[in-house]
Chains A and B, each alone.
Chain A
């Protein structure tokens, strides 16, 4: 054992848990959320949607397979803090090139281990997500609580500038190129363009600040808006872009924040869930087929839309296509009369089950139907 350094985690309502320092030492303050996935911690840590959040892992053993060069979902670790119960002392996997502890320290992520993560999770479930601080610098919990309460709230936060790419780049199609897609990067996970590329799509990943003209400049067969962190109510720029896309009837697909942005473009509001959906075991029903898929989720906000009736939008009627069966949250939207749909969860599934991968095929089909000059045979 490395000599254990005491650490503490305090919540904005004053609840305190004591533990040991894990990863980098220091103090971090952010919104605290829990993730129930039993696998995929590396993908979780590197998911840009976790920007601005301390993540509690409900699975007790974290780090068993270490970290490897292949399972990064973006260029770096994004979580603001990491809470685990029993971190691995050694990693065991043929792909591992360092331990998770090393990765966290390399990336400067302040963590804490040895806390009753289940008690913490139950607290968040009952009281809702809130702000918290982890510190191995000071154990003065009163001072930390005060600091936490002075920190900004998640509602109203915008982290897009932090997570998006600074320059546009292209992910080439695997095999023969069939379509061009402009993908607005609001914190895109690496697996998403890969899933599209596998289907013959050349993906032009564009910065979050791109305008409709920037999008049109790549002459896309379809437009995609990615997942991302923060309050969707602050993402006005991307909403404008999506309206522009829909006005031109260009096929649209959105994931996660992309779903909320479609919702907003269609005139719906968004709201913050009490404690969100973060895990890889969430049942979602595709209402068009009745089939249930087990899906990966990471969202603290949701779209407010009627579940059982179509709703009118500037782009014609739309409807809720997917529903979370645990709590009836809107998990997917689609326009009735033009090609545009989105889901709140993660069909790219890294980490998580591949049940929803068909949505990428659906995107390809929409493009094949609306493209006048498809570059490949369908």
Chain B
């Protein structure tokens, strides 16, 4: 049964911005789908609002719409493109929900679009818990499939009734939400009110499921694939180390399942197949979660997802079976036996992968970004990323995975004192799941806990606990040994100990351990992920290291370039960096190099075995990278290693690699240091005559105080060497400074605190540029919409800059070139400027790919990352222009008028984090980055682009209704005009007393609402704004924070308002600049119907615009500008 001939075009829906629970795994799956469909000659139309994705690169689809994934916008795309079919199963819950909405509102029927991959009926059967329960209970009795006892509730009253039968604790699961959003475990009635109340609100069908607690049971997940001929295979089994009660996304998971007999495993397999058949997922993948009672093997089916999921990405990387790719092929009519297994090339995909290694995934959390948030792990996912590791056994894989997290303290550590904690205390602590529980389990083992003790306390299977005990025993041997014998060293390495762990235990540096190890010939070998446990020869060099006997790295002829990826996603370092790495691989492969990717993030496109010529799924530590380099140098010539595309992670390895004489291509490590070391960078700026805000460094409070006194408050303080503004804060007085220094943990002479003058009311500007040593290519200039002080990753920005004049742009160009030259950049550089009182200050420069590279590339139709990769390998900008990679005679700093306006908006995870009291964490933006993802709005004008960015981000802007305004005194002046405009547009204005008074004097009538802390004095029973928000009687909230931060505590005023807005999903604007942009967006929405346009179409316009520019004229203009800038620079400060 070959491919269907009746499908000529397919609409693929992506998953939108990266949020907790829905991350770049859907870029991986969507990219695979687009590739497959295009290979099959199908016209691919893509909708995804996330510009940081590979899939939205114009070359991956025929028509790429970076537009909001809302029924309205997707309908516009359908009306324009008229696809034959819609594939909704590869874009997470977002895509599935959009497809259901388009079905429900009749759009699919109206345009004759067929849903492929999963039918509406199947989606509903899988997601409607009552129907799903019937399906499970209808399976053959001998399989023993049950569902937890449960009740569907549509109101709080129903919940209270149901719990009378089910008893506490009870699990609350809202229907149709993603990543377990809104679910939780209620131990009592207060919990129930809070969790179920929220769940009812979050569920699009106002429906929650209450179910009996199966807390502490073993948890498993099976990945299933089915084709139209009803061939079904299980791709992978995954076992959670953390038992039921912790969301799978937050759990440490292992593949394959470790603690099932064949009898039990086959029952899970039978049930999975039974469920996929009954639900009717005809063509594609799904995953099914199980709980198994460790006492008697009773099986409860927890849930199924009738689509590709986060676990599918993990399973694909864990097995080498590309689930999304195969799902796309079966969706267009192939049967599994017609699809070859890529890895073996000779055997078909209609088989079940078998593993001769162990895969461990560990989550990465970001609680340090949300100090007020409750770090207890629940059924509500809180992790922001994950790392995966492969080893020949569990201990090796686990320890590799822990070091892959790249977080100090993530590895087990035997040097710290723990003796003051006794076993009982530790057992009590590990009974509550939290982000660092496994380390605590190890401590408990060191304190004498047995596997059964730990199992009693945590439900973690005794087999896993025994493996931890094995690790501990090896550590004890290492502690007690007279010397590091080859046998002991080898034994430690076989159980995953890193050189740095060994060094800590033996009181020597990791470098010395490495030296000893190499001298003794103890080095890893590289095995292959081959889907078949070596039964057939693998054609795909997808490797992992292990301390075993035989290596499988093949010799090669062509020079290799190693590209170091960015590791687990975290706030501040996510998919954007993967984008650049993938582009480098594609570009260098085209340029004739053998590309070798090193990364440990299973969600990404970079870790697809299809992306590079060779893939090493390895931790990004110096030890692991040096070993890969060594292995590749044994295999053939190595041209160099690329460290500047994967964010701070590989950049941090540059010095160590250079010290080990590994060739680094592009910007040399000395230049990277130059940019990061404040003093040296200050001299670069001085030489170029560029001003930076006054600053200094300090390692003590006294030192910091001296600097701050000299500069004057407010100051911006932060640790050096950070990404994503980790630990950055605006400090307004000495007390706050003292408190900051006290709480900042990692301060040392090598890691001082930076103290900068904080530029109030400045416009922040971000620049991405390429430099080849002689010529600068300005990739793009982004103007931040929020003021300086909001982290650039959290700030919305617009490209091209909408309020900067030519003079300022020229100044930016000249400054960028001076810095790129002064630092010694070969490749990409990102510079942040602040424009304050007509002075252009340099805030910081990063000689690497930035978070904004994909956004700029898409907004300007220029492949910056590809160009950067080729520059690093020695080509010049002129050569790249000639090769057609970069446009001739112009760059991203001088866009033609045909170019679109692109707005990037950050997406915040506030609705994921609750405080210990159960309220949401505060939403105010600050210098610490907290967004998880971004969207792009692209249109001809700013208003429409901004409106799209808001619709794509989370809560679209309203066109009518009530606006609540409450702003800080310093913002009152700036607020008047936009609020007046909103009133003119027909909005009803609500305000607190002070704000209302200012508005009234300016001719804007505002209804006064009672403040929260104001008593109901006049007896009018006026409701507070929080009441109104919860009643959803407000459509837009404008609330700028009053007061100041101090030592990590939030600016409390307005906190209840903002968190209520988060809870109800009402747009909440917290800066006056954001307000101005919103008003433009609202005006556009009211005035016109906003259209959609593909990136390919914009690229054509940009190209036409560019070719009409005269190249000769531009060169002359550039020279003029350079002279002009020099004089400008000379005049400031």
Give me the interface of A with B, judged by CB distance under 8 Å: 1, 17, 34, 36-40, 42-43, 58-61, 64-65, 68, 70-71, 85-86, 88-95, 115-119, 121-122, 125, 279-283, 285, 290-292, 294, 325-327, 349-354
Interface pair B394/A89, CB less than 8 Å apart? no
Residues of A within 8 A of B350 (CB): 283, 292, 294, 325
- The residue that A291 contacts in the complex, of B231, B463, B548, with Cβ under 8 A, is B231
Q: Are B348 and A283 in contact (CB under 8 A)?
A: yes
Q: List 5 A-B contacts (CB under 8 A).
A: A42-B261, A281-B354, A326-B348, A354-B266, A354-B270
Chain B 511-554, CB within 8 Å of chain A: the 1/0 string?
Answer: 00000000000000001000011111100000000001110100
* 0 or 1 for each of B278-294: is its CB under 8 Å from A? (1 = yes): 00000000000000001
User: In the bound complex, what is the Cα–Cα distance between A118 and B393 (angstroms)?
Assistant: 12
The residue that B533 contacts in the complex, of A36, A326, A350, with Cβ under 8 A, is A36
* CB atoms of A326 and B351 under 8 A apart: yes
With A281-B352, A325-B337 in contact, do A58 and B393 touch (Cβ < 8 Å)?
no
B394 touches A61 (CB 8 A): yes
Expressed in whole angstroms, the minimum distance between the Cβ of A265 and any Cβ of chain B is 30
- In the complex, A32→B776 CA distance in Å? 65
Nearest residue (CB) in B for A121 is B534
Q: Which residues on the A side are within 8 Å of B537 (C-beta)?
A: 125
Chain A residues near B233 (CB-CB < 8 A): 294
Q: From the candidates A39, A279, A282, name the one contacting B265 in the complex (CB within 8 A).
A: A39
Known: A42-B262, A118-B392, A292-B336. 14 other contacts (CB 8 A): A58-B533, A59-B354, A60-B392, A65-B260, A85-B393, A86-B393, A88-B463, A90-B466, A94-B294, A121-B533, A280-B354, A283-B348, A283-B350, A325-B337
CB-CB nearest in chain B for A39: B262
The reply to whether A71 and B535 form a contact with Cβ atoms under 8 Å apart is no
A-contacting residues of B (Cβ < 8 Å)? 229-231, 233-234, 256-263, 265-266, 269-270, 294-297, 335-337, 346-348, 350-358, 392-394, 451, 461-463, 466, 470, 473, 527, 532-537, 548-550, 552
- Distance between Cα atoms of A1 and B295 in the complex (Å): 27
Once bound together, how far apart are the Cα atoms of A88 and B393, in whole Å?
11
Question: What's the nearest-Cβ distance from chain B to residue A277, in Å?
Answer: 8
Tell me whether chain B's interface is mostly helix, strand or loop, or mixed. Answer: loop
Beyond A17-B549, A118-B527, A119-B548, whether A68 also contacts B261 by CB under 8 A is yes
Residues A125 and B534 in contact, CB atoms below 8 Å apart: yes
Chain B residues positioned under 8 Å from A281 (CB to CB): 351-354, 532
A326 to B533, CA, bound (A): 14
Least Cβ–Cβ distance between B158 and chain A, in angstroms = 36
Q: A36-B354, A58-B354, A351-B262 are in contact. Are A279 and B296 (CB under 8 A)?
A: no
State A327–B347 Cα separation when bound (angstroms): 7
Q: A116-B549, A283-B351, A353-B266 are known contacts. Are A122 and B534 too (CB-CB below 8 A)? A: yes
Interface centre among A39, A115, A294, A349 (most CB of B within 10 A): A39
Residues of A within 8 A of B297 (CB): 94-95
**A89 pairs with B470, CB closer than 8 A:** yes
A121-B351 in contact (CB<8A): no
The distance from the CB of A59 to the nearest CB of chain B, in whole angstroms, is 6
**Residues B463 and A90 in contact, CB atoms below 8 Å apart:** yes
Report whether B337 and A43 are in contact in the complex, using a CB–CB cutoff of 8 Å.
Answer: no
Task: Please name all residues of chain B whose beta carbon is closer than 8 Å to the beta carbon of A38 when the two chains form the complex.
Answer: 256, 354-355
Which residues of chain A are near B335, meaning CB under 8 Å? 292
What is the CB-to-nearest-CB distance from A327 to chain B, in angstroms, rounded to a whole number? Answer: 8
B550 touches A116 (CB 8 A): yes
Asked if B256 and A291 sit within 8 Å, CB to CB, the answer is: no
Q: Select the residue from B354, B473, B535 with max chain A CB neighbours within 10 A.
A: B535
Nearest 7 pairs of A and B residues by beta carbon: A40-B262, A119-B550, A116-B549, A351-B262, A58-B533, A92-B463, A39-B262
Contact B536 A326 (CB under 8 A): yes
Asked if B231 and A292 make an inter-chain contact with CB atoms under 8 angstroms apart, the answer reads yes
A1 touches B392 (CB 8 A): no
List residues of chain B with CB within 8 A of the CB of A354: 266, 269-270
Q: Most chain-B CB neighbours within 10 Å: which of A70, A125, A326?
A: A326
CB neighbours (8 Å) of B549 from chain A are 17, 115-116, 119
Tell me if B337 and A292 are in contact (CB < 8 A).
Answer: yes
Complex contact A118–B269 (CB within 8 A): no
Partner of A279, one of B346, B461, B470, B535: B535
A157-B900 Cα distance, complex, nearest whole Å:
78
The answer to whether B354 touches A90 (Cβ under 8 A) is: no
Q: In angstroms, how far is the closest chain A Cβ from the Cβ of B144? A: 14
Q: Are A71 and B351 in contact (CB under 8 A)?
A: no
CB neighbours (8 Å) of B262 from chain A are: 37, 39-40, 42-43, 71, 280, 350-352
State whether B296 touches A93 (Cβ < 8 A).
no
Q: Provide the residues of chain B in CB contact with A118, threshold 8 Å.
A: 356, 392, 527, 533-534, 548, 550
Question: Residue among A70, A95, A294, A354 with the most chain B CB within 10 A?
Answer: A294
Cβ of B296 to closest chain A Cβ, rounded Å: 6
**In the bound complex, CA of A291 to CA of B350 (Å):** 10
Which residues in B have their C-beta under 8 angstroms from that of A95?
Answer: 261, 297
A349 to B267: give the CA distance in the assembly, Å. Answer: 12
How far, in angstroms, from A28 to B778 measured CA to CA in the complex? 72
A122, B558: Cα distance in complex, Å = 26
What residue of chain B has the Cβ atom nearest to residue A66's Cβ? Answer: B261
List the B side residues contacting A279 at CB < 8 Å.
Answer: 354, 533, 535
Cβ A60 vs Cβ B393 within 8 A: yes
Q: B356 and A93: CB pair below 8 A? A: no
Which residues of the other chain, A, contact B473 by a CB distance below 8 angstroms? 1
Most buried by A among B257, B351, B392: B351
Q: Do A93 and B548 contact each other (CB < 8 Å), given the known contacts A121-B534, A325-B348, A326-B536?
A: no
Q: Are B356 and A59 in contact (CB under 8 A)?
A: yes
Which of B230, B231, B256, B533 has most chain A Cβ within 10 Å? B533
The winner among A58, A60, A91 for most chain B CB atoms within 10 A is: A60
Contact B393 A61 (CB under 8 A): yes
Complex-state Cα separation, A93 to B347, whole angstroms: 35
How far is A38 from B336 in the complex, measured between Cα atoms in Å? 22
Measured CB to CB, the closest approach of chain B to A173, in angstroms, equals 17
- In the complex, are the beta carbons of A285 and B337 less than 8 A apart? yes
Residues of A within 8 A of B357 (CB): 60
Partner of A64, one of B294, B346, B463, B534: B463
- Measured in the bound complex, the distance between the Cα atoms of B234 and A171 in whole Å is 33
Residues of B close to A125: CB separation below 8 A: 534-537
* Chain B neighbourhood of A40, CB < 8 A: 261-262
A179 CB to nearest B CB, Å: 21
CA distance in complex: A290, B231 (Å): 10
- Does B296 lie within 8 Å of A92, measured CB to CB? no
Q: Are B354 and A71 in contact (CB under 8 A)?
A: no
Q: Could you tell me the distance between the alpha carbons of A279 and B265 in the complex, rounded to whole angstroms?
A: 15
Q: Which single residue of chain B is at the shortest CB-CB distance from A198? A: B142
Are B392 and A282 neighbours in the complex by a CB distance under 8 Å? no
Supposing A90-B463, A294-B352 touch, asked if A64 and B231 sit within 8 A by C-beta, the answer is no
A350 to B266, CA, bound (A): 9
Residues B354 and A352 in contact, CB atoms below 8 Å apart? no
Q: Which residues of B contact A349 (CB under 8 A)?
A: 266
Query: In the complex, what's the smallest C-beta–C-beta distance from B942 to chain A, in angstroms?
Result: 56
Question: In the bound complex, how far is the Cα of B355 from the Cα of A280, in angstroms?
Answer: 12
Chain A residues with CB under 8 A of B352: 280-281, 294, 353
Q: With the chains together, A116 CA to B357 CA distance in Å?
A: 11
Q: Is the CB of B337 within 8 A of A36?
A: no
CA–CA, A89 and B465, complex, Å = 11
Q: Which residues of B contact A1 (CB under 8 A)?
A: 473
Complex Cα–Cα for A316 and B679 (A) = 93
How near does chain B come to A325, taking the closest CB pair, in angstroms? Answer: 5
How long is the Cα–Cα vector from A325 to B339 in the complex, in angstroms?
Answer: 12
Q: Are A90 and B451 in contact (CB under 8 A)?
A: yes
Kindly report which residue of chain B lies nearest to residue A278, judged by CB atoms.
B535
Most buried by A among B230, B257, B266: B266
Closest chain-B Cβ to A82's Cβ sits at a distance in Å of 16
Distance A282 CA – B535 CA, assembled complex (angstroms): 11
Residue from B256, B351, B470 within 8 A of A294 (CB atoms) = B351
Whole-angstrom CA separation of A34 from B354 in the bound complex: 13
